[in-house]
């Protein structure tokens, strides 16, 4: 944009604001946290954490009802999720499989199976990535080339599912 065009654009913007000051001014920002958004679960996780940090040293008796409601929801929403890591038997139907090597210098081979449908002990079928390391990789590798679906002991490891290395580990973890 040329300097003449910039000057004309600035002049027109100033004239437009002067003609309608209410439409061009941004609404004033409220100070503090939007407690209704926090209590309704519409605030970001980061905002909830900042809110909890801000009221950390305040006595619960001095908090308003809105602050107490927001604090209760924020604590629940930001609490760490505890997942059951108990091994269970699963039949794995996989879309694709990939052989990879670890980056730790040992160059250990492992398998990554993507798009797997896995039925949990609760009867829910979830689509997850399944990984097999060590002895589990060797067992699964043999099953893959048989052309069948894989039936093995697995456990949840955050968002992925890992194949249990050997049967003694599955028995020890279940005990």
- Report the CATH number of the 88-174 domain: 2.40.50
Residues 93-134: pLDDT tens digits? 877 888 888 777 777 888 888 888 888 888 888 888 999 988
- Let me know: does 152 contact 140? Beta carbons within 8 Å: yes
pLDDT at residue 105, rounded to an integer: 72
Q: Quick one: CA torsion of 153, 86, 92, 169, rounded to 10 degrees?
A: -20
For the chain, give every domain's residue range.
35-78, 88-174
- Gap between the Cα atoms of 111 and 101, Å rounded: 9
Q: Is the dihedral of CA 119, 122, 128, 133 positive or negative?
A: negative
Residue segments in the chain with a per-residue pLDDT below the cut of 50: 24, 169-175
Residues 88-99: pLDDT tens digits? 998 888 778 888
Please give the structure tokens belonging to residue 85.
């890591």
């Amino acid at each position: 944009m040329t300097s003449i065009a910039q000057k004309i654009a600035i002049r027109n913007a100033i004239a437009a604001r002067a003609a309608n000051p209410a439409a061009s001014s941004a609404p004033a920002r409220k100070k503090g946290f939007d407690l209704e958004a926090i209590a309704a679960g519409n605030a970001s996780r980061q905002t909830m954490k900042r809110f909890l940090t801000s009221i950390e040293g305040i006595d619960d008796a001095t908090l308003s009802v809105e602050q107490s409601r927001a604090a209760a929801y924020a604590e629940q929403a930001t609490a760490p999720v505890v997942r059951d890591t108990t091994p269970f038997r699963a039949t794995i139907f996989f879309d694709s499989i990939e052989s990879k090597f670890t980056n730790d210098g040992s160059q250990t081979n492992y398998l990554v199976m993507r798009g797997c449908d896995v039925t949990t002990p609760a009867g829910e079928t979830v689509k997850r990535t399944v990984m097999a390391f060590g002895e589990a990789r060797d067992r699964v590798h043999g099953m893959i080339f048989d052309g069948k679906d894989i039936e093995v002991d697995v456990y949840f490891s955050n968002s992925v599912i890992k194949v249990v290395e050997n049967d003694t580990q599955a028995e020890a973890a279940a005990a």
